[in-house]
Structure 1
């Protein structure tokens, strides 16, 4: 095979993978977390064998689709937030964007949870910048100083649990985000109870849908 032919095959494979990931997000949104992979292949306009060559099982497809969503929709927000001059506002922007993503793609997140692929390394691109922005906001005096990165991960988990109890697309979670943000202001800070002992699982697990 010539080098040109190999490049063409790689380009075709990348194109098919992109179509499959986009189709997966659409199909899960429409049919729910138990959507069949056959429907994803049909939506992408490829054969089942093409799907299975790229994604050998549902877990691999769901994980890749979720990682693509985070990369496309949250990574740019995190980058802007970390580069902004006001880390407190950047932190809020990233928290809002994360909740908006989950609200839009509830079924994909549910499929990831059911498949066991929503692991710490998948959520790290969100939780790591939240932790850095927390420290910067504390240094700037716009966030109470006794909040830890683990606290913020658990707060995101609390907000996601609230979100899963509201109607999709209503933005009802914003009320509870506002309440929690108000509690994080330095001028509202009261004494906190001691930190809880760490669990056996990663703090990222607290951000899983309930």
Structure 2
């Protein structure tokens, strides 16, 4: 598998590497640097080392990130369906999930180490919130959720393909473009709300 370099700042955190590391070789008894233990006897190998299945811990590759992203998207989709189903009976659930996801996003962002369990919980909460809010929008504007789902799916797949193929890189220039585009979308949405009010 070819190594793919990334300038994404998230990948500079602990737990990410460009490629998996090879298992650490075990030096033969008597070789230089061999750690002698006790009265000179070699250390007892673990069952994994004896079976040949031992692998040294390795970081995540870009392929791992793509697969984990798809898994998180699936979790958000499942909890989104749950949010859609319970929104009419318990409208407050969506807003509780929104504030919990917001608080958790700050915890994840400022954490020094990646915590997969928190990221999975965030995806579940976000799905619950999006599902509940989508139900309210669908009741107000019939057909809008299907359009949003199709648009999101197309953009999601296109971005994964572009990032995996190396055509899209997280450079400072790309960051400015994304922030500028996002600001434009937010301003357009606010202007639309003011005009419709």
Same fold (TM over 0.5): no
Q: Taking structure 1 as the reference length, what is the TM-score of the superposition?
A: 0.27
TM-score, reference length from structure 2: 0.28
- Higher-RCO chain (CA-CA 8 Å, sequence separation at least 6): 2
User: Higher Cα Rg: structure 1 or 2?
Assistant: 2
* Structure with the higher fraction of residues in helix conformation: 1
